Amino acid sequence: MRNPLYLLFGVSLLALAGMKTYSGTPLFASKVNEAKVVPRTVRDNPGAYRSIYGVYPHYVGGK
């Protein structure tokens, strides 16, 4: 084995890529907030839910 470091490096990368490909994890995942406690009433009253991203600064650009 002439290149043990490269072999280890390559195998590690391929294993990582294999796992990520299998799980379907994108390389650059979008920022998502996970919340555990959301009442079932959201379905009945969607307006009662307050989004984490409700105050996101909107783009008003264009050339």
Partner 1 sequence: MTPASSGARIAGAQVKGLNCPSCGGALTVRGFEHTVSVVCPQCLCILDAKDPNLQILQKFKDKTRVTLLIPLGSRGIWQGTVYEVIGYQQRTTGEGAETYSWSEYLLFNPYKGFRYFTEYNGHWNDVRTLRALPKPAFGIGAKQRLQYAGATFTHFSTAQAATTYVLGEFPWQVRRGEKVAAKDYIAPPKILSSESTTAETTWSLGEYASGEEIWKAFKLQGVAPKPSGVYLNQPSPLVQKSKDLWRLGRTFLLIAFALLLAGFVIAPNEKVFSDSYHFTSGAGAEASFVTPVFTFKGRATNVEIATRTDLNNNWAYFNYALINDDTGQTYDFGREVSYYSGRDSDGAWSEGSSGDSVTIPDIPSGRYYLRVEPEVAPGVSRLDYSITVHRGVPVQSWFWLVSLLLLAPPLYMTFRRFSFERQRWQDSDYAVSSSSGDDD
What residues line the site for partner 1 (CB under 8 A)? 2-3, 6-7, 9-10, 13-14, 16-18, 20-40, 42-43, 46-47, 49, 51-54, 56, 58-63
Question: Residue 51 has what DSSP assignment?
Answer: -
The least CB distance from residue 27 to partner 1, in Å, is 4
C-alpha to C-alpha distance for 63 and 61, rounded to whole angstroms: 7
Instruction: Give 46's contacts (C-beta < 8 A, 6+ positions apart).
Output: none
CB of 47 to partner 1, least distance (A): 5
Gap between the Cα atoms of 35 and 32, Å rounded: 10
Minimum CB–partner distance for residue 42 and partner 1 (Å): 6
